[in-house]
Amino acid sequence: MSKLLYIKASPRGERSHSLAVAEEFVRAYASLHPAEAVETRDLFRMSLPALDGEVLRVKYNIMHGKESTAEEKARWKAVEDVIADFKSADKLVFAVPMWNFNIPYVLKHYLDVICQPSYTFAAGPEGYKGLCSARVFIVYARGGEYPATGAAQDIYDFQSTYLEFQLRFLGLTDIQSVIVQPTLRGPEARDSSKQAALKQALEIVTTF
Ligand SMILES: Cc1cc2nc3c(=O)[nH]c(=O)nc-3n(C[C@H](O)[C@H](O)[C@H](O)COP(=O)(O)O)c2cc1C
């Protein structure tokens, strides 16, 4: 049995455009694959471990091949649990708003927790190697509108560029996405973009 993990990075509930499209995708996926597991992680409702000095000591101990104390290991376990949960998924669905041209801080926190050497990537003299494997589908929502190519993209879009760079770094190269934009420039533009994103999402789900 495969497992789909649906990761929510908008706190806006029913008003959220990224959640609205992602939820339709997940609903369609569940009805196409009734025997497969579908689990949700709402990042704004989860208590992610703080990466404070004590916890980071373990990260650096691992990088330097040093042992950690039992107490340090006990705190590190919270990081390991989030990583194990992430790696247990064969399929990942993200709902991601643009916040200040990037991803919301909770998703950055989540990525900071899961991106750990020897767990999700390996670093050696020959370079980096991602240790994760899953298919990925992402719904982005943006108040403004940023073209997919060209100079404006280079300047404004640190949302899809950062998230997809980080996922590829972890070995997740099978990434598909849709974008709802602009969500804050009137209902017409918002609704037609949302309908188009939904249509695309419901096509992608048939082979996901
Ligand atoms: C804290 C915050 C920062 C935002 N920054 C941007 C931004 O940099 N660019 C933009 O186009 N929209 C920005 N927006 C608007 C959101 O991207 C937009 O409302 C989008 O629909 C949010 O996704 P959601 O509807 O799934 O919650 C911001 C919204 C919030 C709450």
pLDDT per residue rounded down to tens, the chain (208 residues): 899 999 999 999 999 999 999 999 999 999 999 999 999 999 999 999 999 999 999 999 998 999 999 999 999 999 999 999 999 999 999 999 999 999 999 999 999 999 999 999 999 899 999 999 999 999 999 999 987 777 766 789 999 999 999 999 999 999 999 999 999 999 999 999 999 999 999 999 999 9
In this structure, CATH architecture of domain 3-50+89-207: 3-Layer(aba) Sandwich (3.40)
181 Cβ inside 6 Å of ligand 1: no
* Alpha carbon distance 73, 172 (integer Å): 28
Q: Where are the alpha helices (DSSP H) in 37-150?
A: 53-63, 70-87, 105-114
Closest residue by Cα to residue 172 from 124, 126, 114: 114
Kindly report the protein residue whose alpha carbon is nearest to atom 3 of ligand 1.
99
Pairing mode, strands 121-124 and 127-130 = antiparallel
**Which residue among 99, 160, 163, 181 has the greatest number of ligand 1 atoms within 8 angstroms of its CB, and so is best to mutate?**
99
pTM check: above 0.95 = yes
For the chain, the domains span: 3-50+89-207
Length of the chain in terms of residues written: 208
User: Which amino acid makes up residue 116?
Assistant: Q
* Alpha carbon distance 13, 10 (integer Å): 7
159 Cβ inside 6 Å of ligand 1: no
φ, ψ (nearest 5 deg) of residue 80: -60, -35
97 Cβ inside 6 Å of ligand 1: yes
